[in-house]
């Protein structure tokens, strides 16, 4: 599964921004037909997204399209318009049930990503994560907090439990988990703090809304050279221990067992997904 450390949203009806995003070398560019587009401009946005997918070279960036929510009455029209242009994947927002996700006419084999953004989506998260063909879950903190009537804060304490549950559902079903937005794109320190916290929670990446957020987020979700070297030593020592018929083993004066080995293997897997 490819690395999705930074997922950059671009309004589907803003050609200048889309054209710029195509050359940014970000992991994922998500052309947005939902929140970033006013209701009266949906048709214009669909046509522009199709044009972008057909004409622009996005380099190594994954080309995603976020359609409107299944219950909006707009999702099928979005799909009818954009699928012919062959995006790399579809992001489905405000998923509240597995039925709403499975009912969409998305071709088998196309990348499918679901956004958990409500209390209903969270409590049905286990069933949503089990939908065949799903590759990742995205946690949408702003809509989730609004659904609960929670007050958003810089510390994000009010969504911490939900963030943890979403990443757990993703891990249980072998999916990637993509973390919440940091909406103040001028606050690099706050962004880095949140990204590093998300990485510690087990998220593989984060949503972003501005090019200036790409580097801090990619850095936060990329294992350092020291982390990779340490993980490789653990895995190599584990393999040698297996050859010797041993279980737990000592490395650098510390006992190493399977949880430590699995953590090291995950670090190496993230590196190989680059």
* Active site residue ranges: 257
Cα 71 versus chain centre, distance: 22
| Nearest-10 Cα torsion for 179, 184, 187, 193 | -20
**String of DSSP letters for 90-122:** EEE-S---HHHHHTS---TTSEEEEEE-SHHHH
Number of H helices, E strands in the chain: 12, 10
**Any idea what DSSP says for residue 152?**
P
Tell me how long the chain is. Answer: 274
Residues 6+ apart with CB under 8 A from 158: 145, 148, 150, 151, 152
CA distance linking residue 12 with residue 7, whole number of Å: 15
Considering only CA atoms, which of 166, 48, 53 is closest in space to residue 117?
166
Exposure string for 102-130, b = 16+ CB within 10 A, e = fewer: eebebeeeebbbbbbbbeebbebbeebbe
Considering only CA atoms, which of 213, 215, 121, 209 is closest in space to residue 170?
121
């Amino acid at each position: 599964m490819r690395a999705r450390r930074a997922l950059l949203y671009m309004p589907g009806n803003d050609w200048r921004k889309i054209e710029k995003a195509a050359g940014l070398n970000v992991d994922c560019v998500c052309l947005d037909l939902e929140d970033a587009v006013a209701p009266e401009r949906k048709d214009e946005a669909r046509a522009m997204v199709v044009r972008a997918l057909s004409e622009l070279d996005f380099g190594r960036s994954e080309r995603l399209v976020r359609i409107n929510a299944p219950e909006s009455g707009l999702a099928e029209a979005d799909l009818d318009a954009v699928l012919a242009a062959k995006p790399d994947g579809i992001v489905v927002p405000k998923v509240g049930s597995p039925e709403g996700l499975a009912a969409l006419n998305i071709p088998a084999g196309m990348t499918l990503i679901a956004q958990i953004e409500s209390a209903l989506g969270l409590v049905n998260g286990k069933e949503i994560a089990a939908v065949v063909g799903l590759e990742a879950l995205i946690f949408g903190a702003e809509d989730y907090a609004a659904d609960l009537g929670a007050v958003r804060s810089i510390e994000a304490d009010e969504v911490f439990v939900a963030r943890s549950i979403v990443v757990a559902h993703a891990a249980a079903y072998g999916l990637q988990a993509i973390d919440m937005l940091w909406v103040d794109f001028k606050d690099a320190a706050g962004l880095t703090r949140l990204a590093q916290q998300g990485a510690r929670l087990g998220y593989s990446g984060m949503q972003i809304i501005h090019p200036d957020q790409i580097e801090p987020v990619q850095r936060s979700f990329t294992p350092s050279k020291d982390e990779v070297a340490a993980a490789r030593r653990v895995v190599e020592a584990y393999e040698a221990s297996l050859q010797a018929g041993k279980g737990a083993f000592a490395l650098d004066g510390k006992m190493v067992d399977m949880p430590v080995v699995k953590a090291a293997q995950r670090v190496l897997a993230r590196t190989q997904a680059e």
